[in-house]
Amino acid sequence: MDFARSLLFYAGYGSFTISWGALSVIVAWLLPYRARFRFIAGAWTRVALWWLRITCRVDCEVSGLEHIPARPCIVLARHESAWETLFLQTLFSPQATLIKRELLWIPFFGWAFALLRPIAINRDEPRQSLRRLIREGRARLQAGTWVVLFPEGTRMPPRQMGRFQAGGSALAAATGTPILVVAHNAGDHWPARKFSKHPGTIRFRIAPPLITAGKTSKAIQAEASAVMASLIESKRS
């Protein structure tokens, strides 16, 4: 049953992504940035999550909404599946996501994604990528755009902690911007690199913001990593 539901989900998801991506490339570039984000990401992600709920019976429960500040800041998010890349866009809008540049080469999806002004880096050039993250991340924050990063660098199995990379903490140290650490158990219901989805409720937690002004990058990295580990540990119970 999970396989059949997942097959139905991907049939609709793929068709909608191609059609919406093509429409976005044609139409959305004419819109101001914030309207463009709502047109591309807002509508597409909500339809995708709705279709996931209808076909695969995967829902979401959020705690910690009261911790989201009024002014956009840096979000360090747990990465377990494709689900959070969709859901984060419904909470933090507009946002600039740190991504590998190859994602922008994907037909339709990547072309539309490029219109959202992500921070695209070349992973083979870490020093240049870090400088670009700080430069473009600072500009995005000053323009009132959330900056979203996956600090573990790759999708992790549920309840397994990866080593934090330095990008998010370096940007926070350079700008004095608070950090929101968020975690979830999406990998239990949308497993990475697997076809079938499993019904249930994804639990998404937002920790209180971390104050970073006056702190070193290493101190921020250690603090953020400890918060993420605490959130992951709390999901074991």
What's the pLDDT tens digit per position in 12-37?
998 988 888 788 778 777 888 888 88
- Class for the domain spanning 2-234: alpha beta
The DSSP symbol for 96 reads E
Which tops the pLDDT comparison, 99 or 40?
99
What's the pLDDT tens digit per position in 117-152?
899 988 888 889 999 999 999 999 999 999 999 999
Domain locations in the chain as residue ranges: 2-234
- Checking if the pLDDT of 55 tops 60, the result is yes
How many helices (H) and strands (E) would you count in the chain?
8, 7
What's the pLDDT tens digit per position in 147-167?
999 999 889 999 899 999 999
For 10, 38, 84, 113, 211, the CA distances from 105, given in Å and listed in that order, are 21, 22, 21, 10, 36
Helix, strand, coil percentages, rounded to 5, for the chain: 50, 15, 30
Q: What is the mean pLDDT of residues 69-79?
A: 96
